Structures are given as C-alpha cells and as structure tokens.
Chain A
Amino acid sequence: MRKYGNWGYVFILPWLIGFLLFTAGPMLASLYLSFCKYDLHTLTWVGARNYEVLLRQDPLFWKSLTNTALYVLFSVPLGLTGSLAIALLLNQKVKGLAFFRTAFYLPSLVPAVASALVWQWIFHPDAGLLNYGLSMLGVKGPQWLQDPKTALPSLILMSLWGIGGSRMVIFLAGLQGISDELYEAASLDGAKGWAAFRHITLPMLSPTQFFNLVLGIIGSFQVFTSAYVMTNGGPNNATLMYVLYLYNNAFRYFKLGKASAMAWILFVILLIFTLVQFRSASKWVYYEGGEKD
C-alpha cells in the first residue's frame, strides 16, 4: 500500500513544485520584503517601518482604502442583487431561454480592458449614451469620470456590467437545485410570489449567496483594471483604488517593500472580512443537509 501511496506524491509533485515556486514562495518573499526597503537594487531591513509609514504617515494609503471600501460597500450588494434578479428571470420557462441566457452572459466574456474602453464612451459627458439617455428625460448629465464627485460612482455603475456573469450562473444553478416540492407545499399553504421567495427561495439559496458574497468582497477589494484604464486613479485621487496604489508603489515608484506591506495589509483585511462572514454564516446560511460544521 505504501508503495502506491508514494506514487500519489509523484503525481502531485508538478502541482506541488508549482505551488511552492509560484505561490507559497512569492508569498513568503513578499512577507519578508514588507519588512525591508527594496527598490529592485538595494535591500535593507527596516523592521515594521513600511507598516508604520502606511498607517500613520501616508494619506494616499487611507484615501485608497476609503475609495475601495466605498466601492465594495456599493458594488457588492448591487452586484449580488442584480445577479440574483437576472438568475430569477432566466430561471423562468419562457421561449428563447437559451438565447437570453447567452445574451446576459456575453458581457462577462468581453475582456476587462475592452469593456473599460467601451464604458469610457458610455460615460462621455457630451457624446455618451448615458447622458444622451438622461437628456431625453430632460436631465443634464454629470461629467462622470471627469468629476471627482461622480468618478467613483461611475466605476461602481460600471461594475454592474458583469452581473450576468459567473455569479449569475452560480445563482441559477442554486435556483435549479431548489426542489419544486417546497414550492408546491408552500402553495398549498397559500404562500406564493413574494412570500415564497422570502421564505423558500432566499433561505434555500443562502449557501449560494454566502459563496457569492465571500468571493464578491474579495474580488471587489482587488478592483484594479477599471481604475487603471479609465481614470488612472483620478481625478484628484477620487478613484485611487487600493490595488492601483499598490501597483503604483511597486512599479512606478519602485517601493517594493511598501507595496508588499500593502499586500499583506489587504490580506489581513480580507481574512478578517472572510472570518466574520464565516462566523455570521451560522445565523443566516441554511444548509439543506443540516448544520454545517
């Protein structure tokens, strides 16, 4: 038996080597670098100075964290609600369902940079679709990406572009996993429409919501492409996202120690968020097979 067991290690060896070299190794290296001053040329151990500078002396760190927190606060609930709404629509038995499912999924296949460029057109104050639509309603549209007050909301709005993507598919799979018997039983008791949704669909879908919420928060904290391509953090740092500022420190200013410290701070933030969600899950996530250990 032991002989066969050794073969198991041989088979996982390629993955193991890859994991150690390209994931665990760089992670440990970045942890070490976060305690150093490093500009790709000179490496100096500075203890916790990078963390101290970030937390106590760097206003852009807090600005980027605030921007990102606001982005997460709005884009995650809006995105989850939108994805669930589309999944509910695409779970109906209507003609042309395959077409609708494809059509709603398509935007998520567009590369992030390409969709960012398309949205630049949509947000154009004079020639953009959005302000054109508003003008039809007699409303003068804002400057969107050019105005510090509307730039961040613009990126949040743009994040909804992806609501028909994988998150929606997961919701759809979750919806299709809910037994019809539950709805039939509820119907016999007089629960239909909103009541059925509130007391059957939502609880039965709670593990899916939990999964999407955890991944959504992690993904939103790491938002980068839209800010990098569309605004480069401007105007006046209104869209300076955390990962964009991390990138700037690493690859524009070559403060790789500081950037590594930022990466670890983000890791800790995400870890706390995830742990809190897992702790709170027992209060609102319902597993059909019983309580999850």
Chain B
Amino acid sequence: MKRLTRRRLLGAGLAAGLPWCTGGCGVQRGEAGGDRRVTLRYMAWGNPEQLAVERQIAAEFEKRHPEIHIHLFMVPGSAYQDKLQLMLASRTAPDVVRADHYYFPALVRKKYFMPLDRFVAREPTGFLDDFIPLCLEEGTWDRKLYGLNVLFGSVIIYYNQDLFAAAGLRDPYELNRAGKWDWPTFVQAAQALTKHEASGRPLQFGTSTVTFPMFGSVIWNHGGDFLNRELTRFTMAGDADSERGLQEYADLRWRYRCAPTPADTALSAFSFESGKVAMHWGWAGESPRFRRNITNFRWDIVPTPSGEIGNATVVKGNQLVIHTETEHPNEAWEFVKFMTGPVAEMLLCGRLRRAIPTRRSVQNDPEYLRADQPPFHTDVFLESIRRGRTLPIDYRYQEWSQVFTSALEPLFNVQESDAKTALADASQRVNRILSGEEGF
C-alpha cells in the first residue's frame, strides 16, 4: 500500500478538481455554448400558469431575436425577495428582473437598476405615450425611469352572481354602471347575503375583508389618507375621515357580522371558491385561479365601492428592470421592451387575463376586450385603472406597513379596540419608524 504523502494528496486534489475546471468552472454567462447567441438571464416568480405564459413570451421573443437566448428561471414567490436582494447585493443578479413594487423603491435607490431613459431616447418619438401614466409613475425614481410595469392590477371585488340572484339583489355590475355602487349599498348587500344558523354559527358571508394595503380605497373614499404627501408622517390618527373609514371597514366583521372573522377564515372554510362568500376583495390577478377552481356558480367582477369623497381603487404592479451589472444592456432593453410591448401584453393579459394592459393600444384592442370566459366584465379592469390610485410605498414600506398592520390587529382580530384607539397606537409606532434614523 502506497504511503500517503503531501505530494500525493495534492495530486489527488488536482485530479479531482481538473475535470470541473475544464468543464467550465461553474456557470456560463453571456454567450451560450458555441452558437454565439447572447444569453440573457431573466428572473421572475409566479404560479405554473404564469410560468407557462412567461415561457411562451420568451419563446416569441427568441423567434423575433434569434441572436438572443432567454434563460428564464422562476423562483418560488415565498423566497423571491430574499433571493433577489442577496443576488443584487452579491452582484450575481440576472440581467432582467421582475421586482414587486412593494420592494422597488427600496431597491432602486441602491442603484441596482439601470436608468432606462437612454434606451427610451433611442426609440421613436412618443414611445412612452402609449403607456398609462400610473404605470410609468411606479417605475420612476428621482425623476428617472428605471422600470416598465408588468402584471399591473387593481383591487376589485369578485362576486357570486348566483348568490346575488338567489337573494333577489340587483347585480352590482349594473349598480356600478348606474353610478349606485357606493359604500352604503355595498354594506347593505353584504348584510343581506349573510346567513347564520339559529345557534349563531355562520353559514354564508356577504363579503370578505382584507388587510392593509388592499383596503386603501375605503379610507381614501371616506376622505382619509395613510401618510402625508412626502411619505414622512402617518396622518390617519386624529383624522375623522380616516377613523370613520377604518371603523366602518372593521364594522363589517364585528358590528354587521357580514364578514368572516380570522377564526372563520383560518381553515379556508369561507373562501370565495367555496361559494360561501358572496363578495371577495382581491387583486385582478386572482381570476385564473377562480376560473380553474370554480365550476358550480357564476361569478364576475365589479370595482370596489365609491365613497362620499371619491371612487378611487388601489392599483399596483411589478417593475421589469435591468440589472446595472448586466453585460448586455442593449439586449436586455430589447427584452424589456418586448415583455411590455403589445404582443406580450396581449398574450399575458388576453390569454390569462392575469393583469391589466399597461398600454393604451392593448386596452382598446377588441381582442383584449372580447371575453369568452369569466370575468366577462373586462371594462371593470379598465375602469378600476382609470379610478386607480397608487399606494404610499417608499423604501421603508416593509417596516412601517408591518407595524401598522400589527397595530390594527386588536381592532380587526379580536374587537378589543376601536378605530380611534388603534390608529392612535399605530400613529405612535409608524411615526417612530418614519422619523427614526434610517438603517436602525
């Protein structure tokens, strides 16, 4: 048996490592294999339907740009933000990335993304005019455009048409068209659609409730607001309109008992798909799931109700951005342009109707407007965008929104507080964050 010497140990190590190094020493970037195509890495998250559509769009892009190969990798939604942050920090992020707007302001200020203005300047005059302004607003920071919007959507109400008909109630879509879909009408309908057993056990609820920021329109339409214009101060506490709006929203659960409590929803017993909730507040992107799961009742969509002050709806999208470190900025721009262009938007919004087109030309296209599967009220998507208002999301949003939601739990979860008290507590906590020194 041979003796183990240092020289032999080193030799064995080299022999083990050599094949790996000659095989490429890890990940290849840039040109793919020997075909001289540029490989662009694109990262996104989503469900299997979304993945399929993204693949299809990437394939369409490759057909039009045979010199570019798209390496699409999907990351599970729950791990996406952590992974994205770590990849950006370690300068290993893909060339093109889809960033949720909840995180976009915190990331863009770190200069992780390339400004798009120089690419836009090369495009024909009026290139940006086709985009709806709200979408461009979300992707803009420090007066520069950093991201183009994809999967743009609003909070809308999905409603069970059969339950409305059975209760003899007027269809909310018709009410909305007649300008009568307001908060009192919504509350009345929710109460009429709620059923309890004699023992008090719930059988059916009129509406679901949602957490911040999805109930934003209720506050806005009562005349209130969350933060000041500069996003530096919490403004709800002491503001009668905000307090009233929030209290009325909490009343759905505790006073009118027409919305499920956390205990009722804990085991998904009262979900919209179960047919036991007549109205569901949700993002526009939930419709593919409902199409897949709902087979035993008719459903459609209506905007969130208007209030005394206005008829705003909550809108938010994701931003498609180019990583500053990309070696292929021009190819990346071509891909971003395609992903947010009419062909991709028609595939994405027309095929799955997961999102609302960000381009006016697609919004007005008969192919998009034509609906042969629910939701049939495509105009509701567009109306909710016209009424849309963006959320107060800044770089500290993750922290203050969590604190705010937590402060509202005594009001929404166990009815141990009223809106006034909960907001006074929230004000202290949120303002401490907003006025605090950054990074601590």
- The answer to whether residues A235 and B266 also contact, given A39-B439, A253-B398, A254-B85 and a CB cut-off of 8 A, is no
Stretch at the interface among B238-246, B279-287, B338-346, B399-407: B399-407
Stretch at the interface among A140-148, A162-170, A206-214, A272-280: A140-148
- For the complex, give the distance between the alpha carbons of A121 and B439 in Å: 38
Shortest A66–chain B CB gap in Å is: 16
| Residue from the list A124, A234, A236, A255 in contact with B267, Cβ < 8 A | A124
Is A233 positioned at the interface, with any CB of B under 8 Å from its CB? Answer: yes
- The answer to whether residues A146 and B406 also contact, given A37-B439, A40-B86, A255-B440 and a CB cut-off of 8 A, is no
Shortest B87–chain A CB gap in Å is: 10
Stretch at the interface among B134-142, B154-162, B315-323, B409-417: B409-417
| Residue from the list B110, B266, B269, B406 in contact with A234, Cβ < 8 A | B406
Number of interface residues of A (CB under 8 A): 34
Is A41 positioned at the interface, with any CB of B under 8 Å from its CB? Answer: yes
Shortest A59–chain B CB gap in Å is: 8
| Residue from the list A41, A146, A253 in contact with B110, Cβ < 8 A | A41
Is the Cβ of A146 less than 8 Å from the Cβ of B398? Answer: no
Is B128 positioned at the interface, with any CB of A under 8 Å from its CB? Answer: no
Shortest B404–chain A CB gap in Å is: 12
- For the complex, give the distance between the alpha carbons of A42 and B111 in Å: 11
Contact with B along A229-273 (1 / 0, CB 8 A): 000011111000000000010011111011000000000000000
Is A114 positioned at the interface, with any CB of B under 8 Å from its CB? Answer: no
Is B129 positioned at the interface, with any CB of A under 8 Å from its CB? Answer: no
Is A109 positioned at the interface, with any CB of B under 8 Å from its CB? Answer: no
Is the Cβ of B413 less than 8 Å from the Cβ of A235? Answer: yes
- For the complex, give the distance between the alpha carbons of A143 and B88 in Å: 42
Q: Which residues of A contact B266 (CB under 8 A)?
A: 120, 124-125, 146
Is the Cβ of B407 less than 8 Å from the Cβ of A236? Answer: yes
Is the Cβ of B414 less than 8 Å from the Cβ of A148? Answer: yes
Which of B9, B409, B436 has the most chain A CB within a 10 Å cutoff? Answer: B409
Is B264 positioned at the interface, with any CB of A under 8 Å from its CB? Answer: yes
Is A127 positioned at the interface, with any CB of B under 8 Å from its CB? Answer: yes
- For the complex, give the distance between the alpha carbons of A234 and B410 in Å: 10
- For the complex, give the distance between the alpha carbons of A233 and B406 in Å: 9
Residues of A within 8 A of B (CB): 10, 37, 39-42, 44, 49-50, 53, 57, 120-121, 124-127, 143, 146-148, 233-237, 248, 251-255, 257-258
Known: A41-B88, A253-B399. 16 other contacts (CB 8 A): A40-B88, A40-B89, A41-B110, A57-B440, A124-B263, A143-B263, A146-B261, A146-B413, A148-B409, A234-B406, A234-B413, A235-B406, A236-B407, A251-B82, A252-B399, A255-B439
21 A-B contacts (beta carbon < 8 Å): A37-B440, A39-B110, A39-B439, A40-B86, A40-B88, A41-B89, A49-B440, A57-B440, A124-B263, A125-B263, A126-B201, A143-B263, A146-B413, A147-B413, A148-B409, A148-B416, A233-B406, A234-B409, A235-B406, A248-B402, A251-B82
